[in-house]
Amino acid sequence: MSTHPETLPAVQEVEITYPPPPKTVEIWNPHEHKMVPVFAYAHSKDVDEPMQRVLWNPVQGRWEMDPERAKWQKARGNAKVAWTLSTIWPTEVMSKRETRYKNRLEETEHRLAEVERQLKFLLDQFDLQLPPEE
């Protein structure tokens, strides 16, 4: 068999696939210097498919954070600092969330205006006044 480059068979690229992760996996938390359990998938009301936030590292044989889909975020509560794995959602998901938030805010403002209108009507009916604000 000839070893001339033109006569060698073409090299085929093979993509190695790994089974999906379980619901929770342990990954290295660089801020706490230990392995911590995290949810492998993120869920949103805005997308039908859950998003996988971890990748399998075949060299070290462990699950790791997917830097394109998750980041470590500091969460403060009860005088304690904890690090949580936060999801990086695509722009279209975030815009849907912002639109939903804006719609809820407009609806709340509308309800408040309606309550104030009804309160004014009742105060006028009984010739009452609200106490002055302090």
How many Å apart are CA 47 and CA 94, to the nearest integer? Answer: 10
Position 60 scores a pLDDT of: 87
Q: Which of 46, 49, 55 is nearest to 21 (CA)?
A: 55
Look over the chain and give the mean of its residue pLDDT values, rounded to a whole number: 85
Per-residue model confidence as pLDDT tens digits over 6-60: 666 677 777 777 778 899 999 999 988 999 999 999 998 877 888 999 999 888 8
The model's pTM is 0.58
Q: What is the pLDDT of residue 106?
A: 94
CA neighbor of 73 nearest in space, from 84, 64, 81, 63: 84
Q: What is the mean pLDDT of residues 95-102?
A: 85
